[in-house]
Chain A
Amino acid sequence: MKRTTDNRPAWPDLPEDVRSAVLDVTGRLKDTPGALLPVLHGVQDALGYVPDTAVPLIARELNLSRADVHGVISFYHFFRQTPPGRRVIHLCRAESCQAMGAVTLEKHIKQRLGIDFHQTTADGAYSLEPVYCLGNCACSPALMVDGELKGRMTPQQFDAWLNAEET
């Protein structure tokens, strides 16, 4: 059954960009079976994360409970509930990378950025996330910056990349 269009905005405090991002995605995907993951991907693609404020609207549009939506967001490592830094670094922690010095690389990157996993630098430039395999195990250790994969990373190469970013 289709909901009749209600022009009165629910949740008047909801930021307009969040509202339009959610409605745009749900408008396209709400009728696809098992729509919640594609919807959350769409919202995160648009906003960089899935804000808590978006949850009630997503739930209403998909006819789910807020608990259902929150439960799914919090289950999957990929969905963020806080805004990301301008660059998101996914560093592989898995065995193949460990065999090629990923532990040393991890220490170096954390020290260099001054943050731990799941944190963002104070200037909002970088977020650091662990990842368990990027499928680049033939070129370990690996990391991915916003979808760009880098292989056979060394602390020196990381520094060179970071310096290039900051100039």
Chain B
Amino acid sequence: MSVTVYVPRDAGALSLGAEAVAAAIAGEATRRGLDIRLVRNGSRGLYWLEPLVEVDTAEGRVAYGPVTPGDVPGLFEADFLHGGRHALAHGPTEAVDWLKRQQRLTFARVGIVDPRSLDDYRAHGGYRGLAKALAMSGADIVKAVTDSGLRGRGGAAFPAGIKWKTVLDTPAGQKYVVCNADEGDSGTYSDRMVMEGDPFVLIEGMTIAGIAVGATHGYIYLRAEYPHAHQALLAAIAAAEAAGYLGENVCGSGKAFHLEVRLAAGAYICGEETSLLESLEGKRGQVRFKPPLPAIQGLFGKPTVINNVITLASVPVILDQGAGYYRDYGMGRSRGTLPMQLAGNLKRTGLVECAFGLTLRELVEDYGGGTASGRPIRAVQVGGPLGAYVPASRLDTPMDYEAFAEIGAMLGHGGIVVFDDSVDMARQARYAMEFCAIESCGKCTPCRIGSTRGVEVIDRIVAGDAAERARNEALLRDLCQTMLAGSLCALGGMAPFPVLSALDHFPEDFAGRADKAAA
């Protein structure tokens, strides 16, 4: 009987050689005359074990990793096709501590199913949310999303249901659903994992959004840096169309929903929703003034639901299991789960989806296992390039939107980048300003000019003596206030956060070279 072997096609796994491993396994099986079925799944999110090979055995799926092509003959010798013992064996995948402790709602199928197979998606609970939604009124669907407490997972954490209700209540001949898949924050990759590992869940979430608010056309605005996700989405959309889940008559309901992927072109600012809409319209990605809100005048001037990948991919489980089920996870006003992404200098990097409320320390120490370099953790940047640097002394902060806001930081899209004690925080502060200068859309002065001046002032701080440093630090703080208060969007308005947090928590790194020479 044929044995099913899983080798991820996830971009991260491929970047570590998964393609060669898959080829080696297929080749070795042929040589030995063994009948195997090779499934190219998404990643389970245990990246320190990628490429992670799984085998379907009588006792369930068992894991081996990290596997190189050179390990493959040995795995066959050890009879891994029947769960044989091997140095790379980790036992049943579901029993691996890292996975066992998680609460995977949005990521329920990622790494488990074949992302190219609609049948597999349905067999694992897919399209149950849409079936329920099709039997409900638009207002009831929106109410379920509101009641679930789901907030925008792109970073702004705005309640999704309120956005949807505005679109629902705005009369228009044409409405749109737009998925923001321009995942540009460093340290984040959960959107990519979902799109590559379970693309149908995003399609289902967008279809539900369309049915709810009366939008007949959806766009996924996908970053050009994600060619693997692009392929996965195109294949899944074609399969959904062929099976009647997309098109003029969704599941025979008489309601239409068409979906299209549009490629971005490498501008970070296009992750900002109004800039994204400009880009979809074929223009320079310059930020729009708000109001009008996109929910009232969005894409091509029409009411538009615009949400992040994770937000939309969380909708099917909410409709399927009920708003209360989702809402029961979490703490305070942060309801449900957050897929958190461990990155940077950690022993164990990867995806952790848990209810809000876990502390940053649990994430970087228990899950992450401390730094990969073995040195002490010095700073953790949470929420991407516009997120504050959290010092090691604040690691006990719980992952909760409000708790992070209290310490002057933000959760953002859930990216967590760890730095060890070799980091130069003045250099990180300079980079934050430099990044803002490179990616500024140029529409507002505080961001366009302020970021360039910020780089120059930090250079003067680092180069000067104590008096020069004091003068320029006052200037830098003043500049940061101008950017915070005067920028049109979050790029210029938040780039000061990493700068100020570096200055506040790590002042010693800004000591001028002249001082260091004198000391």
Q: Do A and B assemble together?
A: yes
Residues of A within 8 A of B (CB): 33-38, 40-41, 68, 71-72, 75-79, 90, 94-100, 131-140, 142, 144, 147, 149-152
Among B45, B189, B281, B300, the most chain A Cβ lie within 10 Å of the Cβ of B189
List of A residues within 8 angstroms of B300 by Cβ: 33-34
- Top 10 closest pairs, chain A to chain B, by CB: A94-B186, A36-B282, A151-B15, A78-B266, A76-B265, A137-B343, A99-B344, A138-B47, A138-B349, A78-B265
Contact A95 B428 (CB under 8 A): yes
List of B residues within 8 angstroms of A140 by Cβ: 343-344
C-alpha spacing A137/B345, complex, angstroms: 10
Contact with A137, one of B224, B284, B341, B419 (Cβ below 8 angstroms): B341
Contact with B417, one of A35, A41, A99 (Cβ below 8 angstroms): A99
List of A residues within 8 angstroms of B345 by Cβ: 99-100
- Which residue in chain A gives the minimum CB-CB distance to B387? A95
C-alpha spacing A147/B280, complex, angstroms: 23
Contact A136 B267 (CB under 8 A): no
List of B residues within 8 angstroms of A76 by Cβ: 264-267, 285
- Which residue in chain A gives the minimum CB-CB distance to B281? A34
Contact A139 B349 (CB under 8 A): yes
Contact B428 A139 (CB under 8 A): no
C-alpha spacing A76/B283, complex, angstroms: 10
- Which residue in chain A gives the minimum CB-CB distance to B268? A132
Given the known A-B contacts A139-B47, A139-B349, A144-B225, are A98 and B431 also in contact in the complex, defined by CB atoms under 8 Å? Answer: yes
Contact B265 A137 (CB under 8 A): no
C-alpha spacing A37/B441, complex, angstroms: 17
Contact with A79, one of B265, B350, B372, B420 (Cβ below 8 angstroms): B265
* B 178-208 binary contact with A (CB < 8 Å = 1; else 0): 0000011111110110000000000000000
Contact A95 B11 (CB under 8 A): no
Contact A135 B226 (CB under 8 A): yes
- Which residue in chain B gives the minimum CB-CB distance to A64? B282
Contact A95 B417 (CB under 8 A): yes
B-side interface residues, number (CB < 8 Å): 62
Contact B281 A137 (CB under 8 A): no
Chain B min CB distance to A79 (Å): 6
Contact with A77, one of B48, B267, B282, B350 (Cβ below 8 angstroms): B267
Q: A41-B224, A137-B349, A138-B189 are known; give 6 further A-B pairs, CB within 8 A.
A: A96-B417, A99-B343, A132-B268, A136-B12, A138-B48, A138-B350
Contact with B266, one of A77, A135, A138, A152 (Cβ below 8 angstroms): A77
Contact A132 B439 (CB under 8 A): yes
Contact B16 A152 (CB under 8 A): yes
Contact A37 B342 (CB under 8 A): no
- Which residue in chain B gives the minimum CB-CB distance to A77? B266
Given the known A-B contacts A137-B343, A150-B15, are A132 and B265 also in contact in the complex, defined by CB atoms under 8 Å? Answer: no
Contact A133 B14 (CB under 8 A): no
List of A residues within 8 angstroms of B227 by Cβ: 147
Contact A142 B262 (CB under 8 A): no
Chain A min CB distance to B259 (Å): 14
Chain A min CB distance to B193 (Å): 9
Contact with A95, one of B48, B281, B381 (Cβ below 8 angstroms): B381
Interface residues of B in 392-451 (CB under 8 A from A): 415, 417-420, 423, 428, 431, 435, 438-439, 441
Given the known A-B contacts A95-B186, A95-B417, A95-B431, are A151 and B284 also in contact in the complex, defined by CB atoms under 8 Å? Answer: no
Is B464 in the interface zone, CB < 8 Å from A? no
Given the known A-B contacts A72-B284, A95-B381, A149-B11, are A137 and B186 also in contact in the complex, defined by CB atoms under 8 Å? Answer: yes
* B 156-193 binary contact with A (CB < 8 Å = 1; else 0): 00000000000000000000000000011111110110
Contact B225 A137 (CB under 8 A): no
Contact with B265, one of A40, A68, A135, A149 (Cβ below 8 angstroms): A40
Is B50 in the interface zone, CB < 8 Å from A? yes
Contact B267 A72 (CB under 8 A): no
Is B279 in the interface zone, CB < 8 Å from A? yes
Contact A139 B50 (CB under 8 A): yes
Contact B282 A135 (CB under 8 A): no
Is B385 in the interface zone, CB < 8 Å from A? yes
C-alpha spacing A140/B343, complex, angstroms: 8
C-alpha spacing A100/B281, complex, angstroms: 38
List of A residues within 8 angstroms of B185 by Cβ: 133
Is B36 in the interface zone, CB < 8 Å from A? no
List of B residues within 8 angstroms of A95 by Cβ: 186-187, 344, 381, 385, 417, 428, 431
* B 257-296 binary contact with A (CB < 8 Å = 1; else 0): 0000011111110000000000111111100000000000
Contact with B12, one of A71, A99, A138 (Cβ below 8 angstroms): A138
List of A residues within 8 angstroms of B349 by Cβ: 137-139
List of A residues within 8 angstroms of B341 by Cβ: 137-138
List of A residues within 8 angstroms of B420 by Cβ: 99
List of B residues within 8 angstroms of A142 by Cβ: 15
Contact A137 B14 (CB under 8 A): no
Chain B min CB distance to A148 (Å): 8
C-alpha spacing A142/B11, complex, angstroms: 11
Among B268, B344, B439, the most chain A Cβ lie within 10 Å of the Cβ of B344
Contact A71 B284 (CB under 8 A): yes
Given the known A-B contacts A37-B262, A37-B279, are A139 and B284 also in contact in the complex, defined by CB atoms under 8 Å? Answer: no
Contact A151 B372 (CB under 8 A): no
Chain B min CB distance to A143 (Å): 9
Among B183, B225, B263, B419, the most chain A Cβ lie within 10 Å of the Cβ of B225
